[in-house]
């Protein structure tokens, strides 16, 4: 997994999601390791109401991601109110394979408690966790 | 993850690693699920060609004067109709009609006095198949059974360019090999049984050869096929391709609890072949009384990814989805790469199996409308070949 990419400025979970905090807003997605394990991503289902009433809660599932070969739950690293679901993924879910930390972000969320982000894993901690998990 | 000592490896294991394959456990074997990506490999097979290592399949040789009689008693299809070099698809049935395995039988010898057949079985079922074949050997010594699985490698080349690529490596008369026939020939200087068969819905060939020659043959194909767009393809693409082509996969569409008649394989079941076989009485009864369920193809009408194990629902007369009743289960499903729509196979009672019937699939609590369609989902464009 040495060739996989885990930017130091992000925070990570043991369920392979990442969070980028910008003030009290957070972007979240799945990690390079997760997209590599899933392979070709073909569909995302995110449970939110486009009227803007959607919320996510820390360590709770907020949707599902399918690749050709597998289906996986999406688990939120943080709690908050959904601002947007990344529209690009409706028509081009494979964007997550090519750019998991950039244009492949999944949700933007207004954080309930920004301190939740600080409690997540650093890039180094996440990498160490992956090495341990794969053995 | 890649060092489970209990998993078997094919003679091409090192080639897969060299090509950067993602290796996974499959039926007790460590096999490549993909090299580049399933989507890319799937498209290569539909548009150009793909190269598959299927050496995990098992090969049994059945020889001796009693060979034909023995095989006729084990499988529902008519082995006696085979010409030398011809292959047929069949199953091994249990006495109750359930399917122990599905298989290919090649007639190898032209001599009726000294017949020989090669039986090709699935990897995961090979141990129980072998036990079944041994247990049913005649006691008079008229049949000899040999397991050639370890000594035999199998490489498949599939796709519209398969014939042209293979033609650069052999002088065998490929155009004369019709579907489900095989000839012996040298490919890249390696003696092979060249069989016009496959599991992808495309034209193509499967090459049986000695295990030690497999890396040389594999490399020769990759080199010869690269200009035409040949890619090595893993089990992931093999599964999505066979599903589009409507083929059964053992342990999914076929199990010991499912008969070939239920699986809509009646074309391969010869109840009147003039030879009794294990399961025949049960299959006759199913045919007379009517089967309780039938394999169907479904196309989902909303974007979702169907998976094996999901429930098939029959919408009740009203539109209230809460009252949908479960009438069956999916055995395979995927988002079709070629058709870009969700496709699935599964079993339902026959009254729901009529093409055009609107059913639904329970995708994690969501009732997704699905239409029963005629299989296969994908049929390759007709050619003049």
**What CATH code is carried by the domain that includes residue B177?**
3.30.1360.120
Co-location of B228 and B341 in the same domain: no
Position B320 in a domain: yes
The beta strands (E) that lie in A1-135 are given as: 11-12, 17-22, 25-30, 41-46, 55-56, 61-67, 71-75, 80-85, 107-111
Report the number of distinct structural domains present in chain A. Answer: 1
CA distance B168 to chain A (A): 33
Residue ranges of chain A with per-residue pLDDT less than 70: 1-2, 48-53, 135
* Cβ(B331)–Cβ(B239) below 8 Å: no
Co-location of B178 and B49 in the same domain: yes
Tell me what the pLDDT averaged over chain A comes to.
91
CA distance A42 to chain B (A): 7
Position A120 in a domain: yes
Position A16 in a domain: no
- Yes or no, beta carbons of B38 and A69 under 8 Å apart: yes
* Cβ(A38)–Cβ(A32) below 8 Å: no
Contact A68/B at CB under 8 A: yes
Q: Which pLDDT score, from 0 to 100, does residue B111 have?
A: 83
Nearest beta carbon to residue B37 from set A39, A43, A71: A39
Position B194 in a domain: yes
Q: Which residues of B touch A39 (CB under 8 A)?
A: 22, 33-34, 37-38, 236
Q: Is B48 exposed, middle or buried (0-12, 13-18, 19+ CB in 10 A)?
A: buried
- Residue A48's domain comprises 23-133
- Yes or no, beta carbons of B307 and A71 under 8 Å apart: yes
- Yes or no, beta carbons of B364 and A64 under 8 Å apart: yes
- Yes or no, beta carbons of A71 and B305 under 8 Å apart: yes
Q: Which pLDDT score, from 0 to 100, does residue B207 have?
A: 98
Co-location of B307 and B237 in the same domain: no
Contact A61/B at CB under 8 A: no
* Dist CA A133 CA A126 (whole Å): 10
**Chain A interface disruption, residue of B1, B21, B303, B304, most A CBs within 10 A:** B303
Co-location of B156 and B40 in the same domain: yes
Co-location of B204 and B347 in the same domain: no
Position A105 in a domain: yes
Co-location of B160 and B238 in the same domain: yes
Position A13 in a domain: no
Q: Which residues of B touch A71 (CB under 8 A)?
A: 305, 307
Nearest beta carbon to residue A39 from set B38, B305, B334: B38
Q: Which residues of A touch B335 (CB under 8 A)?
A: 42-43, 66, 68
CA distance B75 to chain A (A): 33
Position A28 in a domain: yes
Q: CB neighbours of B330 closer than 8 A, spacing ≥ 6? A: B298, B306, B307, B308, B309, B310, B311, B312, B344, B345, B346, B361
- Residue B176's domain comprises 13-55+151-244
Q: CB neighbours of B272 closer than 8 A, spacing ≥ 6? A: none
Co-location of B230 and B159 in the same domain: yes
Cα dist from B45 to B39, B342, B352, whole Å: 10, 20, 33
- Yes or no, beta carbons of B335 and A45 under 8 Å apart: no
Which residue is it, tokens 């122990």?
A: B100
Position A14 in a domain: no
Q: Which pLDDT score, from 0 to 100, does residue B18 have?
A: 98
Report the number of distinct structural domains present in chain B. Answer: 2
Position B198 in a domain: yes
Position B157 in a domain: yes
Nearest beta carbon to residue A40 from set B37, B304, B307: B37
Q: Which residues of B touch A40 (CB under 8 A)?
A: 37-39
Helices (H) and strands (E) in chain B, counts: 8, 19
* Dist CA B327 CA B210 (whole Å): 47
Q: Which pLDDT score, from 0 to 100, does residue B1 have?
A: 46
Backbone angles phi, psi at A19, to 5 degrees: -135, 135
Contact A66/B at CB under 8 A: yes
- Yes or no, beta carbons of B305 and A40 under 8 Å apart: no
Position B275 in a domain: no
Q: What is the mean pLDDT of each run of 10 residues along chain B (385 residues)?
A: 73 98 95 97 98 98 97 98 97 98 95 91 97 98 98 98 98 97 98 98 98 98 98 98 98 98 98 97 98 98 96 74 81 97 98 97 94 97 68
3-state SS assignment for residue B128: helix
- Yes or no, beta carbons of B305 and A42 under 8 Å apart: yes
Alpha helices in B79-228 (DSSP H): 126-135, 162-167, 214-225
Scanning B31-60 for CB atoms below 8 A from A yields: 33-34, 37-39
- Yes or no, beta carbons of A40 and B240 under 8 Å apart: no
The beta strands (E) that lie in chain B are given as: 22-26, 29-34, 49-53, 58-63, 87-93, 99-107, 116-121, 144-147, 152-158, 182-187, 190-195, 204-210, 230-232, 294-300, 311-314, 325-335, 342-348, 358-363, 366-373
pTM: 0.94
Which of residues B244, B266, B281 is at a domain's end? B244
Q: How far is C-alpha B375 from the geometric centre of its chain's CA atoms?
A: 15
Cα dist from B369 to B133, B318, B337, B348, whole Å: 44, 14, 20, 15
Residue of chain B with shortest Cα separation from A94:
B39
- Yes or no, beta carbons of A40 and B39 under 8 Å apart: yes
Scanning B229-268 for CB atoms below 8 A from A yields: 236, 240
The CATH number for A64's domain is 2.40.50.100
- Yes or no, beta carbons of A39 and B236 under 8 Å apart: yes
Co-location of B166 and B309 in the same domain: no
Residue of chain B with shortest Cα separation from A35:
B37
């Amino acid at each position: 997994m040495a060739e996989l990419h885990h930017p130091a400025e992000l925070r990570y979970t043991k369920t392979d999601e990442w969070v980028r905090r910008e003030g009290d807003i957070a972007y979240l997605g799945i990690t390079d390791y997760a997209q590599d394990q899933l392979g070709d991503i073909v569909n995302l289902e995110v449970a939110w109401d486009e009227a803007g009433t959607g919320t996510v809660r820390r360590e709770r599932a907020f949707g599902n991601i399918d690749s050709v070969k597998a289906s996986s739950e999406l688990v939120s690293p943080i709690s908050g109110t959904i601002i947007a679901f990344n529209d690009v993924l409706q028509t081009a879910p494979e964007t997550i394979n090519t750019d998991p930390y950039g244009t492949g972000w999944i949700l933007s969320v207004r954080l309930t408690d920004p301190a939740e982000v600080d409690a997540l894993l650093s890039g180094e901690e996440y990498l160490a966790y992956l090495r341990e998990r794969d053995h | 993850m890649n060092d489970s000592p209990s998993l078997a490896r094919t003679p091409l294991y090192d080639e897969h690693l060299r090509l950067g394959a993602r290796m996974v456990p499959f039926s007790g074997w460590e096999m490549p699920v993909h090299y580049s990506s399933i989507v890319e490999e799937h498209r290569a097979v539909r548009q150009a060609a793909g190269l598959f290592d299927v050496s995990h399949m098992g090969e049994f040789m059945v020889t001796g004067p009693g060979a034909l009689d023995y095989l006729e008693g084990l499988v529902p299809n008519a082995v006696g109709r085979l010409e030398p070099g011809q292959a047929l698809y069949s199953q091994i049935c249990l006495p109750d009609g359930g399917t122990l395995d599905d298989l290919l039988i090649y007639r190898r010898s032209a001599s009726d006095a000294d017949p020989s057949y090669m039986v090709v079985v699935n990897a995961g079922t090979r141990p129980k198949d072998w036990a079944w074949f041994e247990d049913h050997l005649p006691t008079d010594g008229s049949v000899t059974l040999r397991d050639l699985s370890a000594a035999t490698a199998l490489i498949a080349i599939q796709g519209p360019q398969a014939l042209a690529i293979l033609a650069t490596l052999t002088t065998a008369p490929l155009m004369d090999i019709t579907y489900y026939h095989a000839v012996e020939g040298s490919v890249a200087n390696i003696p092979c049984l060249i069989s016009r068969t496959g599991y992808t819905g495309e034209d193509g060939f499967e090459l049986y050869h000695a295990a030690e020659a497999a890396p040389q043959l594999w490399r020769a194909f990759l080199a010869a096929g690269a200009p035409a767009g040949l890619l090595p393809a893993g089990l992931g693409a093999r599964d999505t391709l066979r599903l589009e082509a409507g083929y059964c996969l053992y342990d999914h569409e076929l199990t010991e609890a499912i008969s070939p008649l239920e699986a809509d394989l009646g074309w391969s079941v010869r109840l009147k072949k003039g030879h009794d076989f294990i399961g025949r009485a049960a299959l006759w009864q199913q045919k007379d009384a009517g089967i309780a369920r039938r394999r169907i193809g479904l196309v989902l009408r909303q974007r979702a990814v169907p998976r094996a194990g999901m429930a098939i629902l029959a919408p009740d007369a009203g539109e209230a989805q809460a009252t949908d009743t479960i009438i069956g289960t999916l055995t395979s499903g995927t988002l079709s790469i070629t058709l870009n729509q969700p496709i699935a196979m599964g079993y339902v009672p026959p009254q729901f199996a009529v093409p055009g019937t609107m059913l639904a699939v329970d995708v994690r609590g969501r009732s997704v409308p699905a239409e029963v369609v005629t299989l296969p989902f994908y049929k390759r464009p007709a050619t003049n070949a």
